[in-house]
Structure 1
Amino acid sequence: MKKLMLICAVVLGFAFTASAQTDTKPEFKFNEESHDFGKIPQGKPVTTQFVFTNIGEEPLILTNVQPTCGCTIADYTKTPVKKGDKGIITITYNAAATAPFSKGIVVTSNAKTPQKTLIIKGEVVAAAAAASTR
């Protein structure tokens, strides 16, 4: 009988511990995590916005948004994003050299997944070639 009560107590203890550990951390839900610009004319910077929603309980705070190269500029929501609210990460790519490109942008935050990488890609073509493909 004592063993049965001890087993019940242990199982009950695990159940309470598991229920007390509900994760309330913030979390991203992006509309898209990769953006394809397609063919873009050389010398004309292009911009896109990555919109996200905080689907966690606590406010989501972006601490850094770092492009992986100097040809890309990032701007982002600097205030905490409350549960259910949206934030924006704006990325501008300087289309200087003609060539295909794929660039990563590392987003650091207080989310369950503390680092997330967004991708921009496309192909920079000579200005006359870009006009003829549209």
Structure 2
Amino acid sequence: MKKFLHLVAMLFIVVAANAQQGAKIEYKSDTIDYGTTNKDDDNGLRVFEFKNTGDADLIITDVKSSCGCTVPSKPKDPIKPGQTGKIEVKYNMHAGPIRKTITVQSNAVNVTGGTVVLKLKGEVIEKEKVDVLQKKKTIMDQ
């Protein structure tokens, strides 16, 4: 019985050690903050940077946005161990708060199901419009 328990324990240790081998994804940050910006001064393009910290090629299989106003693009080629990659995100910059998510599917073994959820936040404001036909107030008008 003791030999059987030792065998099970050794098997468990070997399986646990081997389970951590493979591609691993580490993001510099899982959130991009646009801050307060406006459409005229900002094209809405941002980049999530990540690194493959594992010992196998990292393959990004799918990248989806929570709505059509945000367009992400995934790397086409595998990311080799130790290399970095990027996921570009283009937000359409409509006025209002930004609260969007990007779901990334990969073969990374260090995240549940190979899935990571990235976040976008911030606010797009409309630039003040100046009406050139409106009479300007002067000191004399007061």
TM range (shorter): 0.7 to 0.9
1:92 aligned onto 2:90: yes
State the 4+ residue runs in structure 1 displaced beyond 2 angstroms: 42-45
Residues 17-40 of structure 1 deviation map (CA, whole Å, 9 limit, x = unaligned)? 123212213221100000111111
Tell me the distance in 1 between the aligned counterparts of 2:60 and 2:123: 29
1:126 aligned onto 2:137: no
Within-5 A mapping of 1:1-134: 6-7=1-2, 9-21=3-15, 22-23=18-19, 24-42=21-39, 44-96=42-94, 98-112=95-109, 113=111, 114-128=114-128
Distance apart, 1:11 and its partner CA: 3.4
Which amino acid is 2:32 matched to? H
Root-mean-square deviation (Å)? 1.7
Residues 78-101 of structure 1 deviation map (CA, whole Å, 9 limit, x = unaligned)? 2111221111111111112x2111
Gap runs ≥5 in structure 1: 1-5, 130-134
Aligned residues: 122
Normalised TM-score (structure 1) = 0.82
Gap runs ≥5 in structure 2: 130-142
Distance apart, 1:72 and its partner CA: 0.8
Residue 51 of structure 1 aligns to a residue in which SS?
strand
Aligned-pair identity in percent equals: 29
Which amino acid is 2:121 matched to? K
Normalised TM-score (structure 2) = 0.78
